[in-house]
Structure formats: structure tokens, C-alpha cells
Amino acid sequence: QVPLKPGRSLMDWIRLTKSGKDLTGLKGRLIEVTEDELAKHNKKEDCWICIRGFVYNVTPYMEYHPGGEDELMKAAGTDGTDLFDQVHRWVNYESMLKECLVGRMAVKPIAAPKGEGCCIYSVFLQQIPGDETILYMKTFTIKYILVCPKKVYIVFSVLYFFFYSYDWFQTDNLITIVIYTKQKDMNAELVIVDCQDKRLRGEIIVGDHSYLVEVDLDHAVQEDMAVNIAEKVGKIEIILKKKDNVHWKMLGQPLESHNTFIKRTDRGLFYRKCKLVSKTEVTHDTKLLCLMLPKSTHLHVPTGQHVYLKKNIAGTEVVKPYTPVLPFLPLDFKEAFSHDGAHIYLMIKIYSCGLFTQALDHLQIGHYISVSNPEGNFKKSELQTLEDLFLLAAGTGFTPMVKLLSFALTEVSCLRTVKLIFFNKTEDDILWRNQLEQLALKDERFEVQFILSQPTKDWVGKQGKISSSLLSEFVKRSRKDSKVLICICGPTPFTEQGVQYLKDLGYSQEEIHAFTA
């Protein structure tokens, strides 16, 4: 994020888009844009960008872009889809930039790859006609192409593939959908199911990919459902209760992405509406929000991952990421904290001039907000066989540390030390201070160090900002060559500086996990 000029906030942008001003310079006309035409609009004062086949004139948006003009200019006059997906695929650009839409890219005939030994590294997806099985080949090589009249035969050498399939059956009052994944380490976090108004969506996460069953059900079902997971064999059962005891002729009409196995990042974010059930104060500006998932949703947000909240603000859909925490910090880590699966807790700092957090603060108990599927690149496997865990948090950068702390103290048997180094401006800003201090007293593996950048003169603790000397003082292996992980989260410059200091101190890339957007 870069500092924006006064009058260039997201709210100001929303106001401009609603002002009726012609933001494309085309007086509302939509045109077909060729690649050559797109390439001509590559200057700050005349900048077009293509995202997923649609071209936007982003010239008026330049000064409002939270990442700065230079970032936006990286995609000037080109297809910026990959860049956009890398940085913020979650941003609802269709809504934010709808007044900047110039038109579609002109369709260009695709040239067939020629020649023997031509390599393609991409995802190949094929549905076998009449079969509910997906054949997925991750990497494949075209061996040769035979061109015969009216037909082109392409012979591939398959490097590896997976099989995914589903089946369904019924009793008088139940519908059971069974998904066979053959994945041995299947668990509740990898299965996301939603059933809304006859629409069933079941997503199974497989590494960076996901398999989806998505149908418009033949008949209505009741709100509550059950999801059973046979972890060892990777079998998943979704059990729906029929609303009327009629015989179903089919499960339902397949929807667009039904029975597909693709990269997770290629799926659009899916949202469901959750009810705000409570809002409690954590500090003077930070609140703990409890959101209740619908009965017809099965969703467990994994440790280290975040969700996106979406809300319509002044006619524009605004999306922001938040990292779920626990309702409180458990003091006894002998047993895994039992998650009821029905609630999501978010610890959110309300900024006085924040667009989204102000809207959230005004959300009434009993009202609804859209919550997305989880995302994030932290893998619990990073914690396996760990001996020393260091958590460097600044402000609400504490949020991913909550579940991490709980998971590490409960599940990582060889863990010797967990040290939280928590940077805040003042004492009043420290989140869950009492709970952290109690935990440190109770569990000898855990230690917390508060560091304040703007303390009052009564503060007897440590003072300062993240620095090489502070880190060398607090981040120390419990024994030479111990297996260590250092997690860091806070404002972007804090995180970037921290990572650099840690590298300078000799920690390797694998020993550092930075939480970023």
C-alpha cells in the first residue's frame, strides 16, 4: 500500500463512479478491442488494462489505486490478469471498475501447436462422455499431431494423473452424495460444502487444486445437512434431508463448474451469508466479531488462512481479508481446542477513517455479511517436527498467531519453545494481553514479549521498533541446529523489514513464514 493523496480514498472513488462522469471517454459505448489497440493505451494519462478478457480504462483510477500508480502501470496496455491474480485476485474489480469498462478483447483464432516434441505445461482436463469420472493430467507432452481430413489426432504422453469421482443414492427421506478422493489425509478443513436454495456446492481441496461437485438439485432439501469424512480412505459423504418424500429421478442439473478439477486460484471466490451474532470489545479500537455460518454450510478455516468479507458499500461491492481467531486463548493445550464448526471469530481493528471497518462497526447484531472460502499459503506441515516457534506480530498481525499458537502447543510434540514478540504502539493497543500473560504463566514452553513504539513514561517494558538488534536479542534457537520457524505478520513494511533482518541474521527462507495479502 502507498499513501494516497487527500480525496483519493476508496470512498472517494465510489463517489466518482456514481457521479455520472464519463470515465472511459467512450460515452457509455462498449467496443471490441484488438491487441494492437490495447497496446496503444500504455501511458499514465491514457491507460487501458485487460482483465479476464475485459478491457478497462484505468486512467481515472490511477490516483485511487491503493498499491500506487507504478504498480498499475506494470499492466498498462497489456493483459494484466496474471499480475492481478498474483496481487489481489479477491478484489471485486468488476464492481469497482464497472464505469471504466471499455469493452471485450476481440477474439483471435488460436494457432494449433505444431511439430514433434512440442511441450505444453498446463492443466489438461477431460470429461469422459457418459461417465462421472474426471481424468486429470497435470503435465503432459504432445508427442505428435496427425492431421487427417476433418480430424486432428493429438497423441500425448501422460506424466501423471488423478481420478476423482462421485456417486449418489437415496432413501425415502435422505439424499447421500459420496465423493471418492482416494486421498489418505483427508480432513474437515479440506471439505467445503454449501447448500443454498436447491443449489449444492461441494469443494474438495487437494493441494493447490480443487474438485467441485456443483448441481441445481432435482428437489428442495431441508436446511440442515451432515458431512461425514472417512479420513483414512478419503471418502466424503454429504447427507441432505429431502423436504418432500418424493423419489428423485436425478441428483440435479449440473452447473457450470460441476465435476471439474482445477487450480484453486482459477475458481472464483465463493461466498455465503453469515449472521453477526456478537460483537465484543477487545481494546479501545478492536472488536471480536462472532459470525454464524448457515446450517447448510460445512466450513473449517485452516490455521494460518484468511477469509474475505464482502459488503455492498454505497452501491459498490467492497472485499477485505480477515484472519479468523479462536473465541479466546485456551490455557490448557492438552487437548485440541474443539471447534464447533458453526462460528467464525474475527478480531478486527476499526479505523476511524476506514471504509470497510466503519461499515462493519455499524453492522447490527442479527444482520448478515458475506464470507468467502478460506485462502492463504501457510501449510501446517511447516510446523511438523518443529522445536522452536517464534511469532513476530505487529498490531492485528497478531490474528494468524492465535490459531498457530494453539495448534503448535497442542499438536507439535517435539516443540520446546514458542515465543511471541508482539509490537504495538501503546499498552492500550495490546490485544488479549491478560490471556497471553496467563498462558505464559501456565505453559512453560510459551513466552511473550511486548514491545511498544509509543509508550507512556510509565512503561517499564521493552521499547522500540522491529530492528536487527531486537531480533538478535529475542530470536534465539533453544539449541544449536534446532528446527525453527519464524512467523511474521503486521503492516507490510514491518513484515518486509523483519524478513530482511532475519535473513541478515542467518535464518533461511524455509525458516521464515511471512503472512502477506
Binding footprint of ligand NAP on the chain (CB under 6 A): 306, 323, 349, 394-397, 399-400, 423-425, 429, 453-454, 465-466, 489-491, 493-494, 497, 515-517
Per the CB < 8 A criterion, the answer to whether 134 and 164 are in contact is yes
DSSP secondary structure letter of residue 309: E
Residue 68 interacts, among ligand NAP, ligand FAD, none and using kind-specific CB cut-offs from 5 to 8 Å, with: none
Q: Does 305 interact with ligand FAD (rule: CB under 6 A)? A: no
Q: How many CB atoms lie within 10 A of CB 304?
A: 23
Size of the chain in residues: 517
Residue 348 interacts, among ligand FAD, ligand NAP, none and using kind-specific CB cut-offs from 5 to 8 Å, with: ligand FAD
Q: Does 68 interact with ligand FAD (rule: CB under 6 A)? A: no
Q: How far is the CB of 355 from ligand FAD (least distance, A)?
A: 4
Which of 10, 192, 195, 430 touches ligand FAD (CB under 6 A)? 10
DSSP string, 433-464: HHHHHHHHHH-TTEEEEEEESS--TT--SEE-
Q: How many CA atoms lie within 13 A of 395 on its CB side?
A: 16
Cβ-Cβ contacts under 8 Å for 230 (sequence gap 6 or more): 186, 236, 237
**Residue 454 vs 478, nearer CB to ligand NAP:** 454
Which of 339, 474, 491, 511 touches ligand FAD (CB under 6 A)? 491
Q: How far is CA 17 from CA 92, 98, 309, in A?
A: 15, 8, 22
Show contacts with ligand FAD in window 370-399 (CB under 6 A): 396, 399
Q: Does 356 interact with ligand FAD (rule: CB under 6 A)? A: yes
Residue 423 interacts, among ligand NAP, ligand FAD, none and using kind-specific CB cut-offs from 5 to 8 Å, with: ligand NAP
Q: Does 349 interact with ligand FAD (rule: CB under 6 A)? A: yes
Q: How far is the CB of 288 from ligand FAD (least distance, A)?
A: 10
**Residue 4 vs 440, nearer CB to ligand FAD:** 4
First to last CA, the chain: 11
Q: Does 152 interact with ligand FAD (rule: CB under 6 A)? A: no
Q: Does 31 interact with ligand FAD (rule: CB under 6 A)? A: no
Which of 322, 422, 446, 507 touches ligand FAD (CB under 6 A)? 322
Q: How far is it, in rounded angstroms, from Cα 380 to Cα 272?
A: 26
Residue 126 interacts, among ligand FAD, ligand NAP, none and using kind-specific CB cut-offs from 5 to 8 Å, with: none
**Residue 263 vs 425, nearer CB to ligand NAP:** 425
Q: Does 2 interact with ligand FAD (rule: CB under 6 A)? A: no
Place of cell 513484515: 495
Show contacts with ligand FAD in window 93-112 (CB under 6 A): none
Q: How many CA atoms lie within 13 A of 32 on its CB side?
A: 3
Residue nearest to ligand FAD (CB): 354
Q: Does 347 interact with ligand FAD (rule: CB under 6 A)? A: yes
Residue 490 interacts, among ligand FAD, ligand NAP, none and using kind-specific CB cut-offs from 5 to 8 Å, with: ligand NAP
Residue 183 interacts, among ligand FAD, ligand NAP, none and using kind-specific CB cut-offs from 5 to 8 Å, with: none
Q: Total residues at the site for ligand FAD (CB under 6 A)? A: 20
Q: How far is the CB of 378 from ligand NAP (least distance, A)?
A: 9
Max Cα-Cα span within the chain: 87
Q: How many CB atoms lie within 10 A of CB 267?
A: 15
Strand partners, 49: 56
Q: Which of 394, 393, 357 is nearest to 279 (CA)?
A: 357
Q: How far is it, in rounded angstroms, from Cα 87 to Cα 67?
A: 10
Residue nearest to ligand NAP (CB): 395
Q: How far is it, in rounded angstroms, from Cα 454 to Cα 438?
A: 24
Q: How far is the CB of 156 from ligand NAP (least distance, A)?
A: 40
Q: How many CA atoms lie within 13 A of 372 on its CB side?
A: 24
Q: Taking the mean position of all CA atoms in its chain, how far away is CA 259?
A: 22
Q: From residue 265 to residue 304, what is the string marking binding to ligand FAD with x (rule CB under 6 A)?
A: ----------------------------------------
**Residue 345 vs 501, nearer CB to ligand FAD:** 345
Q: How far is it, in rounded angstroms, from Cα 286 to Cα 351?
A: 9
DSSP secondary structure letter of residue 63: G
Q: Does 423 interact with ligand FAD (rule: CB under 6 A)? A: no
DSSP secondary structure letter of residue 258: T
Q: How far is it, in rounded angstroms, from Cα 397 to Cα 269?
A: 23
- Residue 169 is placed in which grid cell? 443414492
Q: How far is it, in rounded angstroms, from Cα 82 to Cα 75?
A: 9
**Residue 316 vs 323, nearer CB to ligand NAP:** 323
In the complex, the residues that contact ligand FAD under the rule CB under 6 A are: 10, 306, 320-323, 346-349, 351, 353-357, 396, 399, 491, 517
